[in-house]
Structure 1
């Protein structure tokens, strides 16, 4: 076995890759367990202290290192600014990347992947000692470069869709709590602050938006500007409609409680319709694997007795046996 691993480069590379994967899995598992324990301890301390602290997310900590690297690269003379900076910034904000350096980090990641993926393929090809022509290397390298160019876009789009779905599904609960607070006598700003602090653990995305609006209002921003900015930063149609509704209600002088009650009922109805749509779509989705996997088996089981009878009786009779 050792001689085989020493002689065969593919087996040696596979063993090294397996050992590397096992080590990575163990490190990631240990890190997750440690982070969960630390997070649980921090939550207990926050509950014991009677307040909710705004903690820096893990995403921001990871982005800081990339932001520093992007700044150093720009200082060296390589510009990372995009020609469609406003559109890119809106997409990244919809995905949850609100840092000012997020567009530069995004451009840097695309640049790194375009170069790194073909180089990794060349290194792997040299280590396996597989013979390939220059045309094949060029084609595979070009495909990997295209994958590295569009992979960050796919990741950002997928994260924006998941974030939009989470906000849309949790927003009716936020409206119900806000309606209770307003009917209890709180103002709109106090109600948003209270709901934001209550929903930190259940719906953190919505809580962050509400707390950010509250801080802007306390800093002296106009209510209309703060609400419109919340709708634009969220990238969700329901949040934009909610902000517009509150602005119109404030201008016309109508009851905020009635506005929240009507819009909350609409949001709950839309959420129910989305759940029914998914439930009605489930049989169609299930029918595809059923047809692909079970139909050939059923046809084989039903036709096998006839095939056996044909082979045993009909074919010898036709041959004169």
Structure 2
């Protein structure tokens, strides 16, 4: 600092340091003023302009403005199905698997292509490695070593989603009778259907998280003001479980004809309990048939060895002695 002070004094005189500080302050003010005077555009005004430009060009403008943080947005035309029916079918399957995100379809197709290409490259590397080790492979074998990993990688996300759908449906089916009993208790205690659904979703989350998530979505949509009939129909479509679809039909009919929700829940909850007992009895009845095959495979071969083995060995010794 003393050297800088000396240099400024020699160049500008005794007031050199003061002049340098003043010049630096002026420069900082000149640089800062444009940022302070720049007016931030009002989000409502920005949305209005976007809607006006979209209406003039004939395009639909969503209320949610994309933040640009999704790295796959630029590849949406390649990763997402362009057919509306195909897109809806994939989106519904992902919803039933428990992936409700708005980018779930895009991520699913990206996982398919990424795994397919990655395992295809792995198959090529494996084929090159086998050839380098001196192992001769025919053209068919090389094609199989290259294509099978790629096809497996491409089909792996679809298999995972299918298994998730089946597991989730089974969980919802197993937990639905208990949820109906708790819902009936809440309704009879004086709570409304919305409050009972919210309470049940909190109580069953530890045992049946998939069903709790569905009930939470229903509760939030009802709080947001969505039509109750449409909310219940969306629940039936998302779950894909026949028991939930029947429950939705009962609730819609009860609201349409003005009957008591508690009475409808009581009757339907009893039917669900009986249906669960019937499912358990059905599995118990199929158990002996499944055990028969395992019992035969595990007991008959050792039994034959124990009973016939000594005789076969004696016959072998007799034939050996006769031969010599």
Q: List runs of 5+ in structure 1 lacking aligned partners.
A: 1-66
**1:72–1:255 Cα change, 3 Å:** same
Larger Rg: 2
Counterparts of 2:317 and 2:70, CA distance in 1: 78
Match of 2:231 in 1: 226
Q: Greater CA deviation, 189-198 or 257-266? A: 189-198
- Asked whether 1:119 is paired with 2:121, we answer yes
1:129-144 map, 5 Å: 129-130=132-133, 131=135, 132-144=137-149
TM-score norm. by structure 1 comes to 0.72
Alpha-carbon deviation of 1:213?
1.3
1:194-205 map, 5 Å: 194-205=199-210
**1:254–1:142 Cα change, 3 Å:** same
Match of 1:266 in 2: 271
Alpha-carbon deviation of 1:269?
1.4
Match of 1:80 in 2: 79
8 Å contact kept, 2:127–2:145: no
Which of 109, 127, 131 in structure 1 is aligned with 2:111?
Answer: 109
How many pairs are equivalent?
A: 250
- Higher RCO by CA contacts (8 Å cutoff, separation 6 or greater): 1
Q: Secondary structure at the match of 1:79?
A: helix
- Asked whether 1:296 is paired with 2:298, we answer no
Match of 1:217 in 2: 222
- Asked whether 1:173 is paired with 2:181, we answer no
Counterparts of 2:314 and 2:94, CA distance in 1: 66
Alpha-carbon deviation of 1:315?
6.5
Counterparts of 2:122 and 2:240, CA distance in 1: 36
Q: Secondary structure at the match of 2:178?
A: helix
Match of 1:64 in 2: none
Match of 2:59 in 1: none
Alpha-carbon deviation of 1:91?
0.9
User: Which digits, 9 at most, give the CA deviation of each residue in 1:118-146, with x for residues without a partner?
Assistant: 21122234345343233321122222222
Counterparts of 2:317 and 2:80, CA distance in 1: 76
Aligned CA-pair RMSD: 2.1
Match of 2:101 in 1: 99
Counterparts of 2:148 and 2:201, CA distance in 1: 46
1:61-76 map, 5 Å: 68-74=70-76
8 Å contact kept, 2:127–2:146: no
Q: Greater CA deviation, 98-107 or 133-142? A: 133-142
**1:243–1:192 Cα change, 3 Å:** same
User: Which digits, 9 at most, give the CA deviation of each residue in 1:241-298, with x for residues without a partner?
Assistant: 1111101101111111111111111111111111122222222223333323332221
Counterparts of 1:192 and 1:86, CA distance in 2: 27
TM-score norm. by structure 2 comes to 0.71
Q: List runs of 5+ in structure 2 lacking aligned partners.
A: 1-68
Q: Secondary structure at the match of 2:70?
A: helix
